Each structure stands twice: as structure tokens, then as C-alpha cells.
């Protein structure tokens, strides 16, 4: 936990392309007593930042070293190819790696797709960053494969992108040192997993007033009283009413069955 025991804070690291605003907003609603600080880092910096305690947890790209870090996968991104705006590929809604096999492809040093073998023809250099690679794409000297969020992050008016159906994909996860699972980390885990504030799996569920022993006893006592009262009054009342009604019904039926004829007697001829 960053900060001090008297004045705790929570530091969340995140890598480029990740948008933590939604989870930060929920944190601020639920834990207004603990300020949350955002720390933007590169994907390569993430292991050291978490291991050294400069952040309590991080929104990072998989894989992570599972012998050191815990991780909860959150989502997997679509991979796209970034091309000049006038490139022929823009006529298609999506493409495959084979469609671009003869193209020059830049493979920046901060690439996050983890290619076994980068596709296409290699560029004349390896750009230091994805942003540098996008600038080379804009110059019309090659293409670039990246997660869609990075294409949006580094968007320019002179480039565009299209989904690639068979390229490796990048997954984003919440990660933290396995030996440093603090109460605040547990709180943030509950948020990214969509637990409600009163979730029974949460660290501090709100007390349920209806489950207090006093009220439970009251409900049980009231239920028995109501059942006994309702049974006695209902049985006695129903029995008397049924008896009276039934008696009258039988009498009426007897009288009805014994009705005399009222026609005039016929005269003898």
C-alpha cells in the first residue's frame, strides 16, 4: 500500500492504450477516503514498477511472470494494420496477413504483439516506439500492426487502419505482486470484476438489517401468531358459515323437490 497507515493512497499504473477512467470513477465513489493516483508507464516498465512497489497494481498487457505476479485478464483487443490513408487496403473492411505479405512492415522495439516471426518484409530499421513507427507509416515507407487502442492513441489525419483477422492479439489484465495483495488491491479487484458495493464477495459488505437476530425473531414470532390466529378464526368462522349455508341449501332443495301442482282439475264429460 502506498502512502502511510494514517493517510493511505492507492497507485494504479497503466500502459499506453488502456483507458482506466471507468474503474477510477467507481473507486472515487466507493473509496473517497483513499485517493487514487494514476501512473502511466510503458509495457516494458510494468514488471519493475510493480515489483518495486511504485504502484499497488497495474493495468498491463499479458503475459506476466506468474511466479511473481497475480493477474486477472480483462479483455483482448483486435489487432489492426496501420496504413497510409490512400493505401489500397482501405478498400477492404478487414484483411489477412497473406493480403499484406509483400508489404514492408515496421516492428518497433516496444511492440506488444509478441510475434514469433514478424510478417511482411522487414523495415530498414526498428523504430524505438510505436509512435515513431506510425510516423514512418505516414511517410509511406511501410505498415504497422498494433492493438486497436494503440492505433487510436496515435491516430493521425494521414493514416488509417483496418482489422486483421488472423494476427496475434494483445490481452489486458489487472496485475499486482502476488505477495502484496493488500485490502486496497482487493477493493480494486472487486471493482474490475463488476462486484456491487454490497456483494457478499466484497471485503466489507454492508450489514443487512433484515438479517439481525432481533428482526428475524420478530418475523418468526409474528408469522406463528398470524398463522395460529388465522387458522383458529378462519376455521371457526368458515365452519359456522358453511354449516348455516349448507343447512339452508338442503332445506331449499327439499322444498323445491316437493312443489305441488297448481293446475285446474279436468271436468268429466
With a cut of 50, say whether residue 248 has pLDDT above it: no
User: 86 and 39 in one domain?
Assistant: no
Q: Is the distance from CB of 89 to CB of 110 less than 8 angstroms?
A: no
User: 95 and 157 in one domain?
Assistant: yes
- Rounded Cα distance between 65 and 181, Å, is 16
Q: Is the distance from CB of 17 to CB of 41 less than 8 angstroms?
A: no
With a cut of 60, say whether residue 265 has pLDDT above it: no
Return the pLDDT at 2. 62
User: 175 and 68 in one domain?
Assistant: yes
Burial class from Cβ neighbours inside 10 Å (0-12, 13-18, 19+) for residue 238 reads exposed
Decide if 33 is inside a domain. Answer: yes
User: 94 and 143 in one domain?
Assistant: yes
Q: What is the full DSSP assignment across 144-186?
A: EEEEHHHHHHT--TTEEEEEBTTS---EEEEEEEGGG--HHHH
Structural domain that includes position 69:
2-76+171-192
Average predicted confidence (pLDDT) for the chain: 82
Counting the structural domains of the chain, the total is 2
User: 21 and 128 in one domain?
Assistant: no
User: 56 and 177 in one domain?
Assistant: yes
Per the model's pLDDT, the better-predicted residue between 116 and 56 turns out to be: 56
Return the pLDDT at 138. 97
Decide if 37 is inside a domain. Answer: yes
Return the pLDDT at 4. 53
- Rounded Cα distance between 49 and 177, Å, is 10
Residues near 205 by Cβ (< 8 Å), separated by ≥ 6? 198, 199
Return the pLDDT at 197. 79
User: 87 and 24 in one domain?
Assistant: no
Per the model's pLDDT, the better-predicted residue between 177 and 230 turns out to be: 177
> Using 50, 70 and 90 to split pLDDT, how confident is the model at 6?
low
What pTM was computed for the model?
A: 0.72
> Using 50, 70 and 90 to split pLDDT, how confident is the model at 42?
very high
Cell digits for 49?
514498477
CATH no. for residue 100?
3.40.190.10
Return the pLDDT at 74. 97
User: 24 and 86 in one domain?
Assistant: no
Decide if 252 is inside a domain. Answer: no
User: 121 and 65 in one domain?
Assistant: no
Q: In whole angstroms, what separates CA 2 from the centre of its chain? A: 26
- Mind listing the pLDDT tens digit for each residue in 72-98? 999 999 999 999 999 999 999 999 999
With a cut of 70, say whether residue 266 has pLDDT above it: no
> Using 50, 70 and 90 to split pLDDT, how confident is the model at 3?
low
User: 180 and 72 in one domain?
Assistant: yes
Q: Of 147, 163, 179, which residue sits at a domain end?
A: 163
- Mind listing the pLDDT tens digit for each residue in 142-156? 999 999 999 999 999
Q: Is the distance from CB of 141 to CB of 82 less than 8 angstroms?
A: no
Return the pLDDT at 250. 43
User: 66 and 29 in one domain?
Assistant: yes
- Mind listing the pLDDT tens digit for each residue in 160-179? 999 999 999 999 999 999 99
> Using 50, 70 and 90 to split pLDDT, how confident is the model at 107?
very high
User: 12 and 142 in one domain?
Assistant: no
CA-based torsion, 152, 155, 161, 164: positive or negative: negative
Amino acid at each position: 500500500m502506498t502512502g502511510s497507515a494514517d493517510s493511505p493512497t492507492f497507485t494504479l499504473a497503466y500502459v499506453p492504450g488502456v483507458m482506466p477512467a471507468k474503474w477510477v470513477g467507481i473507486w472515487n465513489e466507493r473509496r473517497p477516503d483513499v485517493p487514487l493516483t494514476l501512473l502511466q508507464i510503458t509495457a516494458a516498465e510494468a514488471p519493475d514498477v510493480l515489483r518495486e512497489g511504485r504502484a499497488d497494481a497495474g493495468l498491463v498487457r499479458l503475459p506476466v511472470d506468474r511466479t511473481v505476479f497475480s493477474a486477472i485478464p480483462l479483455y483482448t483487443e483486435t489487432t489492426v494494420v496501420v496504413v497510409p490513408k490512400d493505401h489500397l487496403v482501405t478498400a477492404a473492411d478487414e484483411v489477412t496477413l497473406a493480403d499484406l505479405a509483400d508489404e514492408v512492415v515496421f516492428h518497433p522495439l516496444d511492440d506488444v504483439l509478441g510475434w514469433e516471426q514478424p510478417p511482411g518484409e522487414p523495415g530498414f530499421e526498428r523504430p524505438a516506439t510505436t509512435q515513431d513507427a506510425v510516423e514512418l507509416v505516414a511517410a509511406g515507407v511501410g505498415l504497422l500492426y498494433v492493438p486497436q487502442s494503440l492505433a487510436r492513441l496515435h491516430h493521425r489525419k494521414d493514416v488509417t487502419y483496418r482489422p486483421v483477422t488472423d494476427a496475434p492479439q494483445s490481452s489486458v489484465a489487472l496485475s499486482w505482486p502476488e505477495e502484496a495483495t493488500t485490502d486496497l488491491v482487493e477493493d480494486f479487484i472487486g471493482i474490475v470484476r463488476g462486484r456491487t458495493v454490497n456483494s457478499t464477495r466484497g471485503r466489507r459488505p454492508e450489514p443487512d438489517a433484515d438479517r439481525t437476530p432481533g428482526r428475524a425473531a420478530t418475523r418468526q414470532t409474528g408469522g406463528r401468531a398470524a398463522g395460529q390466529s388465522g387458522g383458529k378464526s378462519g376455521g371457526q368462522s368458515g365452519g359456522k358459515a358453511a354449516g348455516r349455508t349448507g343447512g339452508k341449501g338442503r332445506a331449499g332443495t327439499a322444498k323445491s323437490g316437493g312443489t305441488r301442482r297448481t293446475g285446474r282439475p279436468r271436468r268429466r264429460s
